[in-house]
A and B are shown apart, each in its own frame.
Chain A
Amino acid sequence: MDGRELHFHLAGINNQNFLMRDEETGSYWQQITGTAIAGRLKGRKLTLVPQDELTFGLWKKEQPTGTVLAPLPRYAAKYEKATWETEYAKLPTVIHGPKGTLPDRETIIGIVNNGEAKAYPIANLTAQSPVLLDVVGNQPVMLVVGPDGKSVRVFSREVGGRTLDFYSRGNSGDSWTLLYTATLGEWGFDGCALSGDVKGQCLTRIDALKDYWFDWQNYHRHTSIYRH
């Protein structure tokens, strides 16, 4: 921020989304928005860097030379269990989405594009629509459930002024690919063409946030929900 490196630590909680504080200015930041809400840097926003939430198996296939954060052995006992997702899904929330929307702890993929916010329940994506074509903020987008059946990525479907349509060939281990409807060309989960005259061309990633519904709707009051 302004050429200065900030270091953050946890400093509190705001409706079950944590507050962090930077050691350099003592400002308080909201985790989900990356925005300072109190202190000298109030109103400033951190830049979101390209990031992904996916399974380790899929990541290491894509990034064989990547590095992994080493856990601290001292805290091994405090780390979450493998079943943490189902355990957390049972915890109560202190704020609630409007009646008739979604369960508070429903996990969603949230997208904000050109001022329009939309939430996609992950359970519906994985069960019904591993490739979902939609339009958010006047931009044609695609949500794709990866070969691991858990990771979700969002892409713009616009390439060179054209809107592309894709469908999934189905998931059979290593042969997972997307098919471009018009040419039946193959595309990978990284959004890049694997074959045809567009080979090597990639779709633009769109920032998406995996979040609980109660939290997402709290920060995106006008969000809509995709109904399958």
Chain B
Amino acid sequence: MVTVGQNRVAKRLDKLGAAFCLLVASLAMFALAAYPMYVIRPFREQDPAALQRALWMLLHDKPILSGLFCLIAIPAILVWRRSGWVAKLILTPAVVISLLAAMSAWINPYEHMFHPFGAPQYTSIEHASLDANDMVIAVTLGGESRAYGIREMGYHHIVNDRLHQLPIVVTY
């Protein structure tokens, strides 16, 4: 009886070590994926070296995080059948966490915070809803002039436009 009980416990704990390692790896991967978002979050000082690391990560995150996901998911599948239920309980979040981290490479929340302006439309001075005292950014090229209201620019921040045939980006 004692032997059977011990066997049952042993079976339950099969591959526990491997599962635990994969969980730790998935958490490390999650931290790596979150690092750029952590560095460039607003209302915090950005250190130049950390910013460079964060931007490097953002530029290379798709292959890196996809590769890491494979390195976690494939062993997880391989050990799954031989795992006890405790190990399976640990393997499941390991795969889910690494999948979420890999998917985050396709999403930068800061790129969706302010709605981009899209193709700009214009009005004439008579129809503009600006007060004489409102500040504008004015761009004048080859005799053509266009005014961009600061209050709108303060929200959209960026307008891609063309003036006098020249592609320009107006920023505030």
Contacts and interface: CB of A to CB of B under 8 A. Distances in A.
Nearest to B164: A49
Interface stretch (B4-12, B24-32, B43-51, B72-80): B43-51
Q: Which of the listed residues A31, A50, A66, A72 has the most CB atoms from chain B within 10 Å of its own CB?
A: A66
B56 A68 contact: no
Interface string B94-105: 000000000000
B158 to A, nearest CB: 5
A5 B167 contact: yes
A80 B110 contact: no
Contacts of A50: 139-141
Interface of A: 5-16, 18-21, 26, 28, 31, 37-39, 46, 49-57, 59-60, 62-72, 75, 78-82, 84, 92, 94-95, 148, 150-151
Q: Which of the listed residues A10, A20, A39 has the most CB atoms from chain B within 10 Å of its own CB?
A: A10
Contacts of B86: none
B136 A54 contact: yes
Contacts of B118: 72
A49 B131 CA distance: 25
Contacts of B121: 69-70
Contacts of A80: 150-151, 154-155
22 contacts: A9-B116, A10-B110, A11-B110, A12-B110, A28-B59, A38-B58, A49-B166, A52-B139, A57-B133, A59-B138, A59-B147, A62-B145, A63-B140, A63-B147, A67-B122, A68-B136, A69-B121, A69-B147, A72-B117, A75-B156, A92-B43, A150-B133
Contact of A10 (B131, B134, B146, B158): B158
Contacts of B43: 92, 94
B40 A70 contact: no
A29 to B, nearest CB: 9
Interface of B: 40-46, 51-52, 55-56, 58-59, 108, 110-111, 113-118, 120-125, 127-141, 144-152, 154-161, 163, 166-171
A171 B2 CA distance: 101
B146 A9 contact: no
Contact of A56 (B52, B130, B154, B166): B130
A64 B124 CA distance: 9
B31 to A, nearest CB: 19
Nearest to A38: B55
Contacts of B55: 28, 37-39
Nearest to B167: A5
Contacts of A81: 151
Nearest to B161: A69
A94 B116 contact: no
Q: Nearest 8 pairs between A and B by C-beta?
A: A57-B132, A38-B55, A63-B145, A66-B145, A68-B128, A67-B122, A12-B40, A80-B154
A150 B150 CA distance: 14
Contact of B134 (A14, A56, A65, A72): A56
B61 to A, nearest CB: 11
Nearest to A31: B171
A68 B52 contact: no
Nearest to A148: B133
A68 B125 contact: yes
